[in-house]
Structure 1
Amino acid sequence: MDLNGVSAVVSGGASGLGEATARALAGAGAKVVVADLNEDKGKALADELGGVFVKTDVSDEAQVQAAVQAAVDTGAPLRVVVSSAGIGWASRTVGRDGTPHDLSTFEKVVQVNLIGTFNLMRIGAAAIGKTEPADADGLRGVVINTASVAALEGQTGQVAYSASKGGIVGMTLPAARDLAAIGVRVNTICPGIIDTPIYGEGEAAEAFKAKLAAPVPFPKRMGKASEFAHLVKALIENDYMNGETVRFDGGIRFQPK
């Protein structure tokens, strides 16, 4: 699908993987709605890219609807929805002191990562379905969701995070089958260890990142956000990719710890 002249919504678009994706889509000619909670970064990026910023909690139905409507209101047909908003948490199911995992924290991670992804997908796809087909196949648009290799090989303390990301993987194929009726493709990316601002800066941060990258077979480094964005763009542009979960991890396989 050609990205030039379409509109797109990118959740978590103000930083990290979302920011790189917003830049890649805008560079290909798309009008991007940056949907994020960070107003300062989000507005600055949207202004830079000639897009639109909408403050968005992805677990909130009204806020997601507003972000999708902003894309529709650009006048360019909404063809792309990318979910990259998410949060992490580390806690054992039962801690070393015998304390059970906090339930409210588990619920929060699932609410943002899994339910938030579904919320944007369902509302975004409904809006895409109202557009005219973009090609002879009847394609109207593409949804790209972001999971994690932790969905497949969750480590110690990742029970909440892995459950939320595993849910995204689990709904990929059923969603693709559901949305085929309105000409919408759905694919999910499972990133591994990606270098984003979440790890901070300085000597200690670099040492920590080097440790994280050590198990990666090749290339022997962390992935780049720009490489993630390149994959998003490729999945959008390749019209035969549908219902797939794609690992993006340099060949890493997570060990228990």
Structure 2
Amino acid sequence: MSQLKQIQQEFMEYLLVGANANTGAESSAIANADSNSKSSRFVDIRARVSEQSGISADHRLQIYANAYRIRLKETMETDHQILGLYLGDELFDKLAAEYLDAHPSSAKSLRRFCDNLAFFLRNDEFFSQYPILADLAQFERLLLAAFDAAESSRAEFSTLQNLPPEHWPNCCLRFHPSLQLFSCKSNAVESWQALKADTSPDAPFYQQQKYWMLWRNEERLTQFESLNHSQYVLLTGFIEGNNFAEQCELMLEWYDEQSAPMMVLQTLQSWFDKGIIRELVVS
């Protein structure tokens, strides 16, 4: 390992772990450690930093560590603005500090830093008492995923209309990369909408399962729309690779034999109009 790479690793390890460990008895032990001792994991990086203008090595390192954590907190505030509004400053500060300790940044892109936020909120002893928080975080992550998704072509409804009738039963769909699915029992999306409109959300409630699809339109604006259960099953079935005939049969759980194909066709037309279908494939 080159000396530069070793220094970089020591510095990153200090930013992720050492700055937070520099408290109490451990801090005293580090301060008193001999520069040649290997008892502390962070002695080496401190030994590489010189005092300048009366600012000690520990102080200079802590400045970097504080700036690093502030930048990550700013990333959380940017990516999860509505979650932050829902929590308020005090609880959001608590979330930011505890999430960073539990999930130090491990990706090169800041966009990935909060990928585990919903998981953290569902499993943390304090925050898990309020399941709507994890739902809000997941919904905002999906909005970001839809916005960041790769661009691709979008099929027109005429493509399906011009398909020979004998090919319809075996027709499968491929979707635009921005399409995302979300499901929850809470009023998380309604709360998100209220806060986005600068109004107070209703108190959290958990009733029936709700379904949503999210996508980026041709104007590069992120959109979302609620789905009923049959629409959600229809969409997930096509995503899984089912063909038109299989999906019409699946819809018999909600519709009769005459109305099921019409429902599927009408729903497909709305999907084409929204630009979420990338191509048709005849298996």
Measured against the shorter chain, the TM-score band is: under 0.3
**Larger helix fraction of residues:** 2
Decide which structure has the larger Cα Rg and report it: 2
TM-score by length of 2: 0.24
**Larger strand fraction of residues:** 1
TM-score by length of 1: 0.26
